[in-house]
Amino acid sequence: MIKLVATDIDGTILIPEGEFRPGVKECIKKLCENGIKVVLVTGRMHAAASLIAEDLGLETPVVSYQGGLIKDRDNTLYEKYLTPEQTEKVINWAKSEKIHLNLYNDDILYSEAECYEVKRYCNNLHTKYTCKKFCEIDKTKVNKLLAIDYENPERINKYERELPKVFPELYIVKSTPYFLEFSNKDASKYCAVEFLQKLWGIKKEETLTIGDQNNDIALLKAGGVKIAMGNATEELKSIADDITDTVFNDGFVKAMEKYCLFCGASPALPD
């Protein structure tokens, strides 16, 4: 029996236009009414993710920054920051590669300049940013760093392969074809879901995890039932127990109906 659904947001329950498909809200409401905890697990900043949780009527904690921060309405339950030294190393690397970098410090998004990358990013996610030189920021609460290349995604693929050897002390993951994220080694979606499982006394086999991008590989591995969206990357599909429909065709809802909101006999859960 599924007691916890840990779901990604973008590309899983939210289409690229930033909207929910009809049925998603009602489906999540039914899950909650059936006593199933639904948790949003995202790379988004908390300020943005918490608004989505509120829109969905969720009262569970929100996992943001790939797992670097877990907060409910009143308390911080889990947080893992980059050190100032680690942050400086990534900043210097980005400057040498001439690649744009978003810096998230204490849940504020900073960009060193007004530029195409940060404007497009914030427009797509309906969030705000602050322009400030990174050397002027107190880097004691850096949630994550995000490298962006909209023009040459192959460069992101190259960095994803190579940089874990350059920065072995960091968690580095591609969250879209254009984004490469840098965070604390313990700031993964796996770590966050495992923390909540222990907090609530929920077993791995009682957890369903669902997502669409490479950063959701860690998320899926935390679940006993691993679901990839039909629009997921091939890497994610390869580790999934099941592949549902795409985000445009109510894939999330179909997966929940199959594994959580079924009528009659229980479905055959993956071994």
Cβ atoms of residues 13 and 247 within 8 Å: yes
Q: Which domain holds residue 162?
A: 84-184
**Does residue 265 sit within a domain?**
no
CATH of the domain at 161: 3.30.1240.10
Confidence class for position 263, pLDDT limits 50, 70, 90 = very low
Confidence class for position 160, pLDDT limits 50, 70, 90 = very high
CATH of the domain at 232: 3.40.50.1000
96 shares its domain with 141: yes
75 shares its domain with 192: yes
pLDDT tops 80 at residue 265: no
DSSP codes, 153-189: HHHHHHHHHHHHHH-TTEEEEEEETTEEEEEETT-SH
**Does residue 17 sit within a domain?**
yes
> 46-83: b or e for each residue (b if 16 or more CB lie within 10 Å)?
bebbbebbeebebebbbbbbbbbbbbeeeeeebbbbbe
Q: How many domains does the chain have?
A: 2
Percent of the chain at pLDDT exceeding 90:
91
Cβ atoms of residues 8 and 263 within 8 Å: no
88 shares its domain with 140: yes
Report the C-alpha gap between 84 and 170 in whole angstroms.
13
155 shares its domain with 195: no
27 shares its domain with 47: yes
pLDDT tops 70 at residue 264: no
Residue scoring higher pLDDT (267 or 57)? 57
Nearest to 141 by CA among 89, 188, 86: 86
Residues 6+ apart with CB under 8 A from 21: 15, 247, 248, 250, 253
Length of the chain as a residue count: 271
**Does residue 269 sit within a domain?**
no
93 shares its domain with 161: yes
* Domain end among 123, 155, 184: 184
pLDDT tops 90 at residue 74: no
Backbone angles phi, psi at 9, to 5 degrees: -105, -75
Percent of the chain at pLDDT exceeding 70:
97
Query: Average pLDDT, stretch 115-133?
Result: 94
* Domain end among 184, 216, 250: 184
* Domain end among 154, 184, 214: 184
Q: How many CB atoms lie within 10 A of CB 256?
A: 27
- pLDDT tens sequence across 6-58: 999 999 999 987 789 889 999 999 999 999 999 999 999 999 999 999 999 99
- pLDDT score, position 270: 59
**Of the ranges 37-46, 123-132, 215-224, which one carries the lowest mean pLDDT score?**
123-132
**Does residue 216 sit within a domain?**
yes
